[in-house]
Amino acid sequence: MVRLNKYIAQSGLCSRRKADELIESGVVKVNGKIITELGFSVSSKDKVTVNNKPLQKKSFVYIKYYKPAGYITTMSDEKGRKTIYDILPEEVKDLKPVGRLDKDSTGLLIMTNDGDFINKMTHPSVKIPKVYRVTAEGKMNQQHLLQMAKGIEIEEGKIAYADSMIIDFEGKNTVLQIVLYQGMNRQIRKMLDSLGFPVISLKRISHGTINIQGLKKGQFKYIKPREISDLLKYINKLEKKK
């Protein structure tokens, strides 16, 4: 037996949270009977419909994609900007990104058709680390890193935090490894701008237990079931620490 909201989410129709909303709205039926109880459980023998359409079990696909610069992370854009869907191979164009990278940033995007997984990975209550390699203009020191750890107000009322370390100096520039546990828009760029060290380049190298190793820009690779299982176990450990 599995909870109805999870059963719906596993079909690929939507996230578990959205499934709760569908159940409460009275559009979900089990064996022809409307169910509005959130804790209701079903088995594989039950017939579940949403808006009178039967759910079909969907096989989940997970990939890691090396996003190049110059593309935004969305399916379409009102301003006519290029998106990752303009260059993604046809076989994975139905997948959605887990979080975003801005237009000028590169690196790892996890993509999937598993709405429940996306919700779990992006929920603000679970601080899943995302690691970035960043080159910033100017020479930073430990005091600047301390400021980033203590928090910087990047917008009115919005305090951003980051764990960071200096990897190298390239001429007058600083190469950093930065770890984020939040998901604010253009967070690293805004933090470094506030300190007076504009970002030259920014690449995400890992998200949770998944990394970009072995990929070149524009390439993707299917994530193995064992890797997803390991990632979910890791997330469950983080959830228990809350």
With contact defined as beta carbons under 8 Å apart, do 120 and 235 qualify? yes
Given 20, 77, 86, 102, the catalytic residue:
102
102 is catalytic: yes
Give one DSSP letter per residue of the chain, joined into a string.
-EEHHHHHHHTTSS-HHHHHHHHHTT-EEETTEE---TT-EE-TTS-EEETTEE-------EEEEEEPTT-BSSS--TT---BGGGTS-GGGTT-EESS---TT-EEEEEEES-HHHHHHHH-TTS---EEEEEEEES---HHHHHHHHH-EEEETTEEE--EEEEEEEETTEEEEEEEESS--TTHHHHHHHHHT--EEEEEEEEETTEE-TT--TT-EEEPPHHHHHHHHHHHHHHHHT-
Q: Which residues are part of the catalytic machinery? A: 102
